[in-house]
Structure 1
Amino acid sequence: MIRLRAKTSDAVLDASQVRRVRFLLLEFLPAVRCQVSQGPGIAIVVSDRNREDLTEALQRRIEEIIGCQLVEDD
């Protein structure tokens, strides 16, 4: 399972950012579904993929969209 959270706890996403993040994860992992919490405290969960499936390049692209760094959420 991939569980990520924003390093900045007060970060918030708008609807467009949520759609873009979901699209990238569903398209490039590929995943059946993913959950993206708008925040504050952005959280991303992809239950049907492992952390190793998320490439550094894809994570960087998502971080560009959300405007902050992501860390693993245990």
Structure 2
Amino acid sequence: MIRLRASTSDAVLDEAQVRRVRFLLLEFLPAARCQVSQGPGIAIVVPDRSQEDLTEALQRRIEETIGCQLVVDD
């Protein structure tokens, strides 16, 4: 399972950002489903993929979309 959270606890996503993050994860992992919490305290969960599946490049694209860094949430 991939679990990520924003490094900034008060970060919030708008609907366009949520759609973009979902697209990136579903298209480039690929994953069957993912959950993106808008925040405050953005959380992203991809239940059917392992943490090793998330490449640095994909994580950077997601971080660019949301405007802050992501950390692995164990």
The interval holding the TM-score normalised by the smaller chain is: over 0.9
What residue number does 2:16 align with? 16
Number of aligned residues: 74
* Counterpart residue identity of residue 29, structure 2: L
- State how far apart, in whole Å, the 1-side matches of 2:4 and 2:31 are: 15
Normalising by structure 1, we get a TM-score of 0.99
What residue number does 2:65 align with? 65
Gaps (5+ residues) in structure 2? none
Gaps (5+ residues) in structure 1? none
The Cα shift of 1:8 comes to 0.1
- State how far apart, in whole Å, the 2-side matches of 1:4 and 1:49 are: 12
Normalising by structure 2, we get a TM-score of 0.99
SS at match of 2:24: helix
SS at match of 1:39: coil
* Counterpart residue identity of residue 10, structure 1: D
Between the two proteins, what is the percent identity of the paired residues?
Answer: 88
- State how far apart, in whole Å, the 2-side matches of 1:45 and 1:52 are: 14
What residue number does 2:25 align with? 25
The Cα shift of 1:27 comes to 0.3
Matches within 5 A, 1:43-62: 43-62=43-62
The runs of at least 4 aligned residues of structure 1 exceeding 2 Å deviation read none
